[in-house]
Amino acid sequence: MIADLVAVYLNVAARQQDSPAPERCFRDRALVASVLTGVVSVAGIFVLRQDAPRLFHQLGHRALALVVLAALCGLATVLLLLRDRRTGLRVLATAAVALVVLGWGVAQYPYLLGTHLRIADAAAPAATLKVTIGVAIVAGLLIFPSLALLFVLAGRGRLRPAPRESVPGPPPRES
C-alpha cells in the first residue's frame, strides 16, 4: 500500500518539476504497485475467510462501505494514472490507503488482537487517556494548519530553495 502511495506522490512531484523521464518512471511504478496492492488486498480477504472467519464476516458487513470505498478510490487512482491526470490523484491514493486501514480497524472492533485481547482491556487508565487526547487535540490545532499550508504552497510550486550565500571560511593554507 505504501509503495503505490509513494510512487503516486513522486509522480505528481516529478510533473510539478517538469521532469518527464522521472514522471513516467514513477507513473509506471505507481500503476504496478497499485494493481499489485489491489490484487493482494482482494486475495487477502479470501485468505481471511479460512484463517479469521470473524474478521472476514465483519469486513463483509460492518466495514463493507469502507472496503467498497477503498476499492473505488484505488480504481480511480489507477484510472487517473492511466489517463495521465494529476488532479485529485494524491487525494484518491491517500484515501484508498486510509480506508483500507480504517476498514480493518472497524472490522476488528472491539478486539485489538484476533479475539484474544479487547481494546478496553488493553487501554490505559481513563485519566491517562483524557490527558493524551487533550495533548493530541492541542498538537493538532497547532500543527495541522501549518502542515496544510506547507502542502498547499509546495503543491503550487511556491516553495523555492533560497540562493546559496557564500559563507566566509578560513583562508586556504599555503603549502
User: Could you state, in order of their start, the residue ranges of all structural domains in the chain?
Assistant: 2-118, 124-157
Grid coordinates belonging to 102: 480504517
* pLDDT tens track for 11-53: 988 888 888 999 999 999 999 999 999 899 889 888 999 999 9
pLDDT digits (tens, 9 = 90+) for 129-163: 999 999 999 999 999 999 999 988 887 778 777 67
Contact 56, 48 (CB under 8 A): yes
CB of 99 closer than 8 Å to CB of 1 = no
Band (168; pLDDT cuts 50, 70, 90): low
Please tell me the pTM assigned to this model.
0.76
Residue 123 DSSP label = S
Closest listed residue to residue 16, CA positions, set 145, 144, 148, 152: 152
Give the list of residues 6+ apart from residue 42 with CB closer than 8 angstroms, or none: none
| pLDDT for the residue 60 | 92
Residues 6+ apart with CB under 8 A from 75: 38
Separation CA 171–CA 102 (nearest Å): 59
